[in-house]
Amino acid sequence: MGLLSEVLMLPLAPARGSYWAIRQVVAEAERQYYDPANIRAELAQLERRLEAGEITEEEFDVQEDALLDRMEIGMGRTGSTDNGTA
């Protein structure tokens, strides 16, 4: 039955391959987006912009909160993945 289903599904192989590739790209983008090192670098850049007078204290606070929320979400994602595999 497995061989027969594979033969019948063969015309869908390009779509399945494309779906797999899209999933891989999305997973990598999410990994980079939630990477604590990237977020720390963005926080450092944000602080430099504040010190240079490019943004106000209020803008800094809003953006900093967003970055810290993103880091917290990323840490939760990593924690749940580690817990599920251990």
The mean per-residue pLDDT over the stretch 46-73 comes to 97
Res. 14: pLDDT tops 90: no
Mean pLDDT computed over 27-56 = 96
User: Is a pLDDT exceeding 60 seen at residue 82?
Assistant: no
Q: How far is CA 75 from CA 14, 31, 47, 69, in A?
A: 35, 11, 22, 10
Can you tell me which residue has the tokens 């670098």?
Answer: 41
pLDDT, position 6: 79
User: Which pLDDT band, with edges at 50, 70 and 90, does 81 fall under?
Assistant: very low
CA distance linking residue 33 with residue 14, whole number of Å: 28
Domain ranges of the chain: 18-79
Percentage above 70 pLDDT, the chain: 88
pLDDT reported for residue 72: 95
